[in-house]
Structure 1
Amino acid sequence: MLFQKKFLPREINIVKTLRHPNIVQYFQCIETNRRFIIAMEYAQTGSLLDLMAMKHVLSETEARVFFRQLIGALQFCHSKFIAHRDLKLENLLLFWENCLKIGDFGFARHFDVDDGSTTFSSTFCGSNAYISPEILHQRSYNPLSADIWACGVILFAMVFGKLPFDDSGSIQHLTQNYFLQLVDKGLVFPIDKKISVECKNLITNVMTPESMRPKIRSILNDPWISSNLEK
């Protein structure tokens, strides 16, 4: 009932307002006596998670193309005062010619800006492996900054073929406390996969404490992401 009364109407109101080449397009919502049917753009190539399952790891060239699209779409959302709050590989859908689009705005919300400061969120939402330390610590958090942390997790997963804070495939590890312990230990780069210093620096800069996390504009100007996409 909470989903139908709160989250679903919010999601529909949000996706109606978003028109961007890297955001899945909403068409209409049909309500019946028993269910809501939302018609949206069809991702014929699946999700980024599907691609990772097939390729295991992406080259920096491939990852750069997808990451730039992700950050560009997220910048658009934030400019419309919308935070996604559930960015992960499953929610990044793939279309023709390496086109990535953000989908699933079920946890998205509008945020207010008061005196230049973003209103903080208190709702615990998202997937454990992608959520930021401040959420794991159950503190009020800046939803824009939390989105940026999730982008760092996604970039790490693309270039290393694994999540930075992995559940190791064991169901008993799928707990908030388990991920909290991993995140508090800090980011560790795998030694069996070499990536450029520039890419590693970007991941490190993004996956920092909330007070130090960069803004989207700074990320777009980062040497790795702003370099020639054909390199």
Structure 2
Amino acid sequence: MTYRPPDKDNEVYKMAVKVVERSSAEDNFIKRFLPREIEILAEIEHPYVITIYAMMEMNEKAFFFMRFAENGDLLEYVTSHGALRENHGRLWMRQLLLALDYLDRVGIAHRDIKCENILVTANLNIKLADFGFARKFLAEDGRELLCETFCGSLSYAAPEILEGRPFCPKKVDVWSAGIVMFIVFNLEKPFRRKAPQQLLLAQRARAYK
């Protein structure tokens, strides 16, 4: 699908479309997470966050029209091209951390940082995507709110999440970014445990590969 900005007659962009079917999604997702995602995507704009051109709902479906990433996601990229060289990896990690710094400044935590949610464009920049688990972490009085709900992927989870205690969502985003960095340089996860308690023990022992 293509998109032509109304103020740029000579420019045409290829778009990707994310479709959420309300009838097949879990009730908790429809009532809590989907409204948050729509609200957050309408507010944010940053060079290293995926551009959303339009959102609409029709026939019990939600449509998100976004920038198309020509090189797929980060996991696909390193799987096909191999581990990143230091200069390349440093550039992309800087872009990811700039995106997280922006989200921190506007009071938003992503809560699902992983290679599959980082897209690679044709000119080899990255875009942070998929805000399905994102939430605002600032109360009206400016206090930072803690989270108790586990979101995201187990392999990228910070120790405090695995311990089952309330956690600061922006801090666990940084932990997950560190897991991303390890993967793009080593082509494997630092802690390859499938059970949460085993993963937590490996983290505490610093038993990374």
Tell me the TM-score normalized by structure 1. 0.74
Q: 1:41 to 1:124 in 2, by over 3 A?
A: same
The aligned residue for residue 133 of structure 2 is 107
The aligned residue for residue 60 of structure 2 is 34
Q: How does 1:106-145 map to 2 (within 5 A)?
A: 106-112=132-138, 118-145=144-171
The aligned residue for residue 76 of structure 2 is 50
2:50 paired with 1:24: yes
2:200 paired with 1:180: yes
Query: Which structure's residues are more often helix, by fraction?
Result: 1
Runs of 4 or more off by more than 4 Å in structure 1?
113-117
One-letter code aligned to 1:178: Q
Deviations 1:173-214 (A, max 9, x none): 3x32332232222253x5xxxxxxxxxxxxxxxxxxxxxxxx
The aligned residue for residue 90 of structure 1 is 116
Query: Which structure's residues are more often strand, by fraction?
Result: 2
Deviations 1:205-228 (A, max 9, x none): xxxxxxxxxxxxxxxxxxxxxxxx
Q: How many equivalent residue pairs?
A: 183
Deviations 1:58-117 (A, max 9, x none): 111110010000000110011110000000000000102211010000010001168875
Question: What SS is found at the alignment partner of 1:181?
Answer: helix
Q: Specify every segment of 5 or more residues in structure 2 that has no aligned partner in the other structure, as ranges.
A: 1-26
What is the Cα-based RMSD across aligned positions, in Å?
Answer: 1.7
CA distance in 1, matches of 2:57, 2:102: 29
Question: What SS is found at the alignment partner of 1:78?
Answer: helix
Q: Specify every segment of 5 or more residues in structure 1 that has no aligned partner in the other structure, as ranges.
A: 168-172, 191-231
CA distance in 2, matches of 1:177, 1:56: 31
One-letter code aligned to 1:181: L
Match of 2:173 among 111, 126, 147: 147
